[in-house]
Amino acid sequence: MILRDALLNALATIAGTRDFHLHVLSSSPRKHSGLFPYAKPRPRVYLQDILILLSEYASSSSSSLTPSTPQRVLVTAIEANVYNVPSTSCGILYISKVDGTAQGIAPSPTSTLVKALIRFYADPKTRPIHVDTIWVQLFARAQSQYLFPNSAEFEKKKPLSDVMLCKWWRRVFGEVAQGLVSGGSEGTAEEGKIKARLYYVLPGYNKLEAEQSLKLSLTATSSSSSQPQPQWTYGHPYTQTEIPLPCPPNPKGHTGLGHFIPSFDDDPKNRFMDEIALTTDSNSIKSPKKKKPRTVSGGKPNSKARPARDEEAAVEKKKEKEDEEEGEQETSKAQGELDKVTPDEFWERMSFRQECIAGAVTGFFALGVTSNARSVPLVSVPSPLAPQPGQVSPRLVRRVVASLMTGHEFSTTERSVRATQVLEEAIKGLCEGIVSVGETDTAPAKSSALSSSAKRLFLGAENDGDEEESETTAEGDAEALHAEAPRTPPPRRAHLPEVSPNPFPEPVTSLETYHSHIYGTVSVSNPALPPKSSVAGGGENGAGAVQDQPVRVLAVRKKKRKTDS
């Protein structure tokens, strides 16, 4: 089963009558050296980008469109990264951003889509990468918008608060883990083959404070079920030994902090690791030694002095080479305080970071899933760098993300409809016309099918950096074409080696790839959810009627004074 079909099957269970249109972009693997930049030796890591866009017809109550001309709007977007570490047979699914527009029909499909994505990579039967252990990690930080620009201005969008967002992610992770442990995914947990562990940390809060903030003390004690419950641990997973960690330990010496903490884009752990690594740079960087002046006896060189000078030059050259090798070894060992800081101390110091104590509750969540019995493949496993059917080039995914975050806005339903049309046409045009780029004169019918903005996006993906093409585009569209998605500036890591080129060519997409792996639709016709009043109180005569009664404030009973008779 491919990712698109797994997501569509999950969307088919949502209550109500609606039509979903899904686009799933998964890039081909590429080499990546930034996941464990301070590990010694640095393991080989392969990276994939994932972008999920879900659209449906706009709700009639949220738009001024006539019922005779319904239009689709994007309602949910997910950006994620998949890391593959073959040396430890581990993978990491890092969920970077999740956002919604609140312009669809209730209930929102975001929760269902996120759980289906995590379950697809956590379940060994559907996992597309050949690893025995998968880690799902994310950093929860409440913001009004992530992937849909100006969507916070839409009046019906109610983003979750910081505490509610952490509670939402904890519930999503718990439901996925419970389904795996109880064997809900077609018996994948038979005979104890699946082991899942859950971890979460709210920086600045101890365990009791975190449970009280998320209101978990009552729910934890009231949950009495015969099914096995996932085990939540308040803390980090880097000192446990039940589930293998992605980075292998240092075989020649001390295993420092760089082997435990992975570095992701726009993650506070990444920035804190860089600061720790640069703590003692002044002590580790040394000026090169001065070369001794070459002395030659006599004014003019003669044939007798040449052998002595050549021997002296060889000795100096050998000494310089030894000094360079010694300097490289010192540079490799110079990692600041990373070798001295333990994982427990790292997370304790994270509580004092400005990003974690800036007045809002943030959370780090991790789910580890492993199989006790290593699965022996009956056929040869392909190379981790080999493109699989349905994958696209990483440049195409970056182009669509950049266009989504810089070239459109979702403040109103009308603008969201326009942005949805442009993006969906652009994705289809990229898949259909990527082979025949430059043949627009010979194929006018194909080019006319795209709108002007989608056509510019289509041409910009192939002629990236072409000055002639950028001059012909409009100013606003040109900025959207050549601008990158807004991200935190990457750290300056001069010690990282350059990534060698991929021996496999980038996958060539086609219209068949678009219909068989990228685009899919599903029509849902399920019973609608009951009203909230009936769910909360069970009808007029239930507990819900108590909520309508006025609240009575107890008065303090004063003690009467005894009077002297």
Structure confidence by residue, pLDDT tens digits, 162-216:
999 999 999 999 999 999 988 744 444 444 578 899 999 999 899 999 999 998 8
Three-state DSSP class for residue 49: strand
Three state DSSP letters for 311-373? HHHHHHHHHHHHHHHHHHHHHHHCCCCCCCCCHHHHHHHHCCCCCCCCCCCCEEEEEEEEECC
On average, the pLDDT of the chain sits at 77
CB burial of 399-423 (b: ≥16 within 10 Å; e: otherwise) equals bbbbbbbbbbebbbbebbbbbbbbb
Two tokens, residue 258: 């760089």
For residue 287, the model assigns a pLDDT of 45
pLDDT of 500 reads 73
pLDDT of 350 over the 70 cut = yes
pLDDT tier at 237, thresholds 50, 70, 90: very high
At 362, the amino acid letter reads T
Q: Report the range of poorest mean pLDDT among 45-54, 87-96, 494-503.
A: 494-503
Give the mean pLDDT of 323-351. Answer: 70
pLDDT-derived band at 508, boundaries 50, 70, 90: confident
List for the chain the helix, strand, coil content (%; round to 5): 35, 15, 50
Give the pLDDT score at 354: 79
14 or 279: which carries more pLDDT confidence?
14
Q: Check: CB of residue 483 under 8 Å from CB of residue 457.
A: no
**Average of per-residue pLDDT across 509-529:** 91
Residue with the two structure tokens 């909360």: 536
Q: Of the segments 402-406, 506-510, 547-551, which one has the largest average pLDDT value?
A: 402-406
pLDDT for the residue 71: 87
Q: β-strand 194-201 against 231-234: which pairing, if any?
A: parallel
* Three-class DSSP category at 25: strand
Q: What would the two tokens of residue 546 be?
A: 């108590």
Span of 99-108, 204-213, 439-448 with lowest mean pLDDT: 439-448
Asked if the model's pLDDT at residue 289 lies above 50, the reply is: yes
Please name the residue that has the structure tokens 């606003």: 476
Residue 19: beta bridge partners?
A: 523
For residue 278, with 0-12 CB atoms within 10 Å meaning exposed, 13-18 middle and 19 or more buried, which class applies? middle
Contact (Cβ atoms closer than 8 angstroms) between residue 364 and residue 165: no
Quick one: average pLDDT of 332-341? Answer: 68
DSSP-derived 3-state class of residue 414: helix
pLDDT at 379: 58
Instruction: List Cα–Cα distances, 147 to 81, 407, 410, 412, 564, in angstroms.
Output: 15, 12, 10, 15, 77
In this prediction, residues 248-266 reach a mean pLDDT of 85
Note the pLDDT tens digit of each residue in 35-63. Answer: 998 888 889 999 999 999 999 988 665 55
pLDDT at 492 over 80: no
Task: Tell whether the model's pLDDT for residue 97 goes beyond 70.
Answer: yes
In the predicted structure, residue 365 carries a pLDDT above the cut 50: yes
DSSP for 79-144 reads EEEEEEETTTTEEEEEEEEEEE-S-SPSSPSHHHHHHHHHHHHHSTTT-SS--SEEEEEEEE---S
